[in-house]
Homo-oligomer: A and B are copies of this chain.
Amino acid sequence: MRSRLLVLIFYILSLLLHLPTTTASSCCSIEGLPLVRNISELPQDNYGRGGLSHITLAGSALHVLKEVELWLQTCSPGSRTPIHRHSCEEIFVFLNGSGTLYLASSSHEKYPGKPQEHFVFANSTFHIPVNDVHQAWNTNEHEDLQMLVIISRPPVKVPFGDDFLLQSLCHPFCSLHL
């Protein structure tokens, strides 16, 4: 009789522990930020770069992520990211528009410092090996180039400048072009 009672109590307790809460709340992860975030309501910045819109969807500063960070970036027609590189992995997903990705790849090419041009388009993806110098350029006169950018090991340290050769010769994390 006593063992049956114990089994019943255990069963009721386990049921209580399993029931999901009925609230459809998305509140609150860290410092009052919602867990599920509407991307169209997130703040954007251009960091002083004309034609650029940058939104951090999930990152190290706001969301205390340590291993990965996600951005939504939009380049208006003719605009481009700086020529840069970083000691982390990066993946692009192009959502809208088209353009050119310049990549001076020490791992893929014979001559580091000499960028290859890659046509990029909506619904395409691309990854950048660690420390390869690169630049995304909206060469489409009529459309914004919109892309999701994923980086490992945030926050990223980006030495950048206007020169593929210097970027290739530059030591990782040097501050020459910061």
Contact = CB atoms under 8 A, between A and B. Distances in A.
A3 interface: no
A115 B152 contact: no
Nearest to A103: B35
| Residues of A contacting B: mostly | mixed
Number of copies: 2
A123 B40 contact: yes
A57 B93 contact: yes
A119 to B, nearest CB: 5
A108 B151 contact: no
Given A58-B91, A91-B70, A93-B57, A127 B65 contact: yes
B36 A117 contact: no
B70 A20 contact: no
B118 A25 contact: yes
11 contacts: A18-B164, A21-B116, A23-B116, A35-B103, A39-B124, A57-B125, A65-B91, A70-B125, A70-B150, A91-B150, A150-B150
